[in-house]
């Protein structure tokens, strides 16, 4: 069944030209506005707007639908105005994109302290950038930039991709061969160890191996676990190796439950950015989120 709020959101987008402006006018979240539009387009069976980086341009079918429904929507809005003494502004909702492990490491424990709603989305960085530009996300934590004129980036931390190991991992042999001229021996030692990986894309391992040895790794991890947080917990109570961003194991490296085994002859270091749109109505809420990251990743 069609939801009348879909038409209200459609009218706001049509008249104001963007998801951001429509969300501000209706005092709702941008993901909510986007969801209403997607639902309405699915219901009518065709696109209502052509999406650009700066403006939502109505299609010919969108223009027809607007003209056909405008009078009815206006009457419903007038009824709402007359029959409700006041409409309370809803609690703000901020949508944030980041990787799962970053969320666990930084933001998870702070959620109960916020006086606004938070929606966390996990995904690939290119997808997050596109969602930020489209107004579906309000903030992303990313090591990658995209070519979107409406998005601004603020560098706030760095990560280095390193080999870590459980405190019980015997590295005495490796320490004796860590020399650029002994790369074949280093490879053989590394391949003999127990390795942890994730169910997802092991990009970190492939990049590290290719940069330092000039080829892709020719072995598979012994243990496949759901995410990097699982790797850190497993290594903290045993032995083995994994290639991960160092900041995701900062506490374990500091307390000695994990050891930094090797950061390579050539270092992989990424700058971490806050990504936001240049125009947003959630400056105060985003500032609180940034404060948490600056505290946890300093």
- Whether residue 145 lies inside any domain: the answer is yes
- Whether residue 29 lies inside any domain: the answer is yes
Stretch (H or E) spanning 241: strand 241-245
Please tell me whether residues 243 and 274 are part of one structural domain.
Answer: no
pLDDT tens readout for residues 15-27: 999 988 988 888 8
Please tell me whether residues 127 and 141 are part of one structural domain.
Answer: yes
- Whether residue 108 lies inside any domain: the answer is yes
Please tell me whether residues 66 and 153 are part of one structural domain.
Answer: no
Per the structure, the complete domain to which residue 275 belongs is given by 93-158+270-296
pLDDT tens readout for residues 89-102: 578 999 999 998 89
CATH number at residue 35: 1.10.10.10
Please tell me whether residues 239 and 279 are part of one structural domain.
Answer: no
Please tell me whether residues 164 and 152 are part of one structural domain.
Answer: no
pLDDT tens readout for residues 252-264: 999 999 999 999 9
pLDDT at residue 141, rounded to an integer = 96
pTM across the whole model: 0.63
Distances (CA, A) of 201 to 205, 224, 226, 228, 246: 9, 11, 11, 11, 18
Phi, psi of 36 (to 5 degrees): -60, -45
Please tell me whether residues 22 and 34 are part of one structural domain.
Answer: yes
- Whether residue 88 lies inside any domain: the answer is no
Weakly modelled stretches of the chain, pLDDT under 70:
1, 80-89, 200-201, 298
Please tell me whether residues 179 and 255 are part of one structural domain.
Answer: yes
Rounded to whole angstroms, the Cα distance separating 230 from 133 reads 32
pLDDT at residue 87, rounded to an integer = 45
Please tell me whether residues 36 and 129 are part of one structural domain.
Answer: no
Contact 51, 135 (CB under 8 A): no
pLDDT tens readout for residues 152-190: 999 999 999 999 999 889 999 999 999 988 999 999 999
Q: Which residues have a Cβ under 8 Å from the Cβ of 235 and sit 6 or more positions away?
A: 164, 165, 166, 196, 241, 242, 252, 257, 258
Count of the separate structural domains present in the chain: 3
């Amino acid at each position: 069944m069609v939801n009348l709020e879909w038409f209200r959101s459609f009218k706001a987008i049509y008249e104001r030209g963007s998801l951001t402006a429509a969300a501000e006018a209706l005092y709702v979240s941008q993901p909510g506005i986007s969801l209403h539009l997607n639902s309405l387009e699915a219901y009518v069976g065709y696109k209502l707007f052509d999406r650009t980086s700066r403006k939502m341009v109505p299609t010919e079918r969108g223009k027809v639908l607007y003209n056909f429904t405008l009078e009815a929507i206006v009457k419903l809005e007038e009824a709402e105005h007359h029959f409700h003494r006041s409409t309370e502004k809803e609690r703000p909702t901020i949508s944030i994109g980041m990787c799962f492990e970053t969320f666990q490491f930084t933001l998870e424990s702070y959620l109960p302290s916020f006086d606004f709603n938070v929606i966390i989305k996990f995904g690939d960085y290119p997808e997050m950038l596109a969602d930020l530009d489209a107004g579906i996300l309000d903030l992303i934590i990313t090591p990658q930039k995209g070519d979107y004129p409406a998005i601004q980036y603020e560098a706030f931390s760095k990560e280095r991709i390193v080999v870590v190991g459980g405190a019980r991992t015997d590295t005495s042999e490796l320490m004796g061969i860590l020399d650029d001229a002994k790369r074949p021996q280093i490879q053989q030692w590394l391949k003999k160890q127990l390795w942890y990986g994730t169910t997802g894309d092991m990009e970190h391992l492939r990049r590290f191996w290719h940069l330092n040895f000039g080829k892709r790794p020719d072995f598979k991890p012994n243990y496949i676990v759901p995410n990097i947080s699982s790797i850190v917990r497993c290594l903290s109570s045993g032995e083995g190796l994994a290639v991960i961003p160092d900041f995701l194991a900062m506490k374990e490296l500091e307390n000695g439950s994990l050891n930094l085994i090797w950061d390579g002859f050539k270092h992989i270091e990424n700058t971490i950015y806050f990504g936001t749109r240049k125009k947003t109505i959630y400056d105060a809420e985003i500032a609180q989120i940034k404060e948490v990251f600056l505290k946890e990743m300093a």
